[in-house]
Structure 1
Amino acid sequence: MTLLMPNINVHNWRAEFNRLDGAYAPATMRSYYADVEAFESWCYAHSENPFPAEVETVCRFLEDQGKDLTPSTVRRRLYAIRKVHRLLRLPDPTHDEDINLAMRRVKRAKPVRPKQAKGLTHDHLTRFIESEPNTPWGLRNRAMLSLGYELLTRRSELVALKNDDIEDRPDGTLRVLIRRSKVDQFGAGRIAFTSLTTARLLRRWMAFKGTDIEWLFCPIYQSQPINRDLSTTTVKRVIKTAAQRAGFDASDVAAFSGHSMRVGAAQDLLKNGFDTAAIMRAGGWKSVNVLVRYLEHAEHNVWE
């Protein structure tokens, strides 16, 4: 079988992706890039032209990917194929009805219930904070865990905070501006407030870190703060390590994730009598469907 070659220069789409810089989050850019590369490789292996792609080619790709990947990942790859065709100003094959049917087959073949992170509720938070050692890392982690819980932040929001986003209040608490999130790409932001306890933990960390480092949370090397932002992976690792130190079994440690602070705080708010609308405002949720999944376990406990 003769391998078909693409109708355009294979390097064009990579160059065109530079146009997306600044318009999308870095993580989104990485995902798009990897997804288009996966499509391109699949097409060459199956003697298909990737650019421009035929509707039938995209359908076959989606259904083939659905054998091993979750429907959400397959849909993301569809979006990447759509984006690259538009960047290259090629006919877009992704809006054809056959594409919708292919995605429906992917979903029906592998129904997947979204995996829920274990909630880092206030009781868990207390154990996590108490487990942190009296080191520069422990100083940072105590402040980060407490702030992330009270602000219901995504881990990307937490590591994006800078000194200028923190403002003292007369009562000793702090006002925090969360500037950007995955549902607020243009940085309109939302305002949140801390407790006195969290404010004290954060001030101790900031006094150690100093004002020369603009990032609120930063890496530490040889007990010294480093002037760059913290990775989201570090937040996840801090949570899992604290769970291990606090004595949780292996299955619970595996269930904790970078979203656990947000999940646990939302569950606590529900148990304390706050309604869904109030919790959505506090956490910056735009979709009630996502929040409902977070609250399922809490609702079970409320009505027992």
Structure 2
Amino acid sequence: MHNHAKIDWVSQFQRLEGAYATSTMRGYYSDVQIFETWCHEQALTPFPATVETVCTFLEAQGQVVAPSTVKRRLYGIRKVHRLLDMPDPTLHEDVNLAMRKVRRLGPNRPKQAKGMTRDYLDKFLKVQPDTPWGLRNKAMLSLGYDLLTRRSELVALRTEDISWRRDGTLQVLIRRSKTDQYGNGRIAFTSYRSAKLLEDWLAYRGMHIAPLFCPIYHGKAINRELTDMVVRRLIRESAKKAGFDRSIALAFSGHSMRVGAAQDLLSAGHDTAAIMRAGGWKSVDVLARYLEYAEFNVWA
């Protein structure tokens, strides 16, 4: 007989708020909900789960999602058991073997976002409307490209993080990133175009709002942060407006500004160390994936 009493794991997860990035928390919630639903469909108990239940779930997920997603779901299951102070089934050797099977099911190569290189950026800027939303979107696209930001870094920028330089460009403090969870930050610089586009946006928005980029409601700027999903939607919708095929538009993601700018830097002759400094990369392997297609362009 299985115990199907509903465990309130959601309230326990709230203890993690502020300790992890918003995108990480969103992933945890989604992954644990998927596991819980799957268990109920299979008439299995999710919390505490048995080693056999976890293994079966992982192997089933390996048939339909990427190995990296399966691994993330395993972390979610592990986290919720620890928060609930229940025996952790995920450290058993059988679970490790199940993950090895998942990785061998198919290619473990991460899907690469299409780079928003300078050519794409120019086209995306041209199709923005002559509205407050257009002012904001142009500044976001141009600044995100110049700063090689992740989408979470872009929406986390604050007005106080921006300072104007004598030459009319900007110095920007990027306070926190996926690889800098304690917020030591990095300094980055922009083009004159980005500075002008941001100046236009701020002239409309006003200086009283804390987030650098904020929602607009009925033509009025609202004093709160955008979600990082807005960035991905902006890039994809810009690609469609610029006349690109839907399949091309969907290849772009919130990471595309970072990928495209890195590819352009390589094409311009900058070495790997300089690009890593510019984008705050810690791993050469990760950067190498971004630069693959740029290398083909260089030597073509």
Q: Compared with structure 1, are the counterparts of its residues 56 and 227 closer, same or farther at alpha carbon in structure 2 (3 Å cutoff)?
A: same
Q: Compared with structure 1, are the counterparts of its residues 41 and 220 closer, same or farther at alpha carbon in structure 2 (3 Å cutoff)?
A: closer
Specify which of 242, 245, 250 is matched with residue 249 of structure 1. Answer: 245
SS of equivalent to 1:171: coil
> Root-mean-square deviation (CA), in Å?
1.8
| Residue 111, structure 1, aligned to residue 103, structure 2 | no
Aligned residue pairs total: 300
Give the drift of 1:22.
1.3
Contact 2:128 2:137 in 1 (8 A): yes
| Residue 85, structure 1, aligned to residue 56, structure 2 | no
| Residue 260, structure 1, aligned to residue 260, structure 2 | no
Give the gaps of 5 or more residues in structure 2: none
SS of equivalent to 1:176: strand
Give the drift of 1:172.
1.8
Specify which of 12, 21, 31 is matched with residue 16 of structure 1. Answer: 12
Cα distance in 1 for residues equivalent to 2:62 and 2:98: 10
Instruction: Give identity over the alignment, percent.
Output: 64
**Residue in 2 that maps onto 1:5:** 3
TM-score by length of 2: 0.93
| Residue 302, structure 1, aligned to residue 298, structure 2 | yes
Instruction: Indicate the larger mover: 110-119 or 294-303.
Output: 110-119
Specify which of 194, 199, 220 is matched with residue 195 of structure 2. Answer: 199
**Residue in 2 that maps onto 1:275:** 271
TM-score by length of 1: 0.92
Structure 1 outlier segments of 4+, above 4 Å: none
CA-to-aligned-CA distance 1:258-283 (integer Å, 9 cap, x gap): 11111110000001111112111111
Contact 1:5 1:44 in 2 (8 A): no
**Residue in 1 that maps onto 2:166:** 170
Q: Compared with structure 1, are the counterparts of its residues 11 and 52 closer, same or farther at alpha carbon in structure 2 (3 Å cutoff)?
A: closer
Give the gaps of 5 or more residues in structure 1: none
CA-to-aligned-CA distance 1:224-272 (integer Å, 9 cap, x gap): 2222212222222221222223222332222222111111100000011
| Residue 221, structure 1, aligned to residue 220, structure 2 | no
Contact 1:118 1:263 in 2 (8 A): yes
Instruction: Indicate the larger mover: 104-113 or 146-155.
Output: 104-113
Give the drift of 1:31.
2.0
CA-to-aligned-CA distance 1:98-138 (integer Å, 9 cap, x gap): 11110111111132432222211112211221222222122
Specify which of 67, 70, 75 is matched with residue 71 of structure 2. Answer: 75
AA partner of residue 207 (structure 2) = T
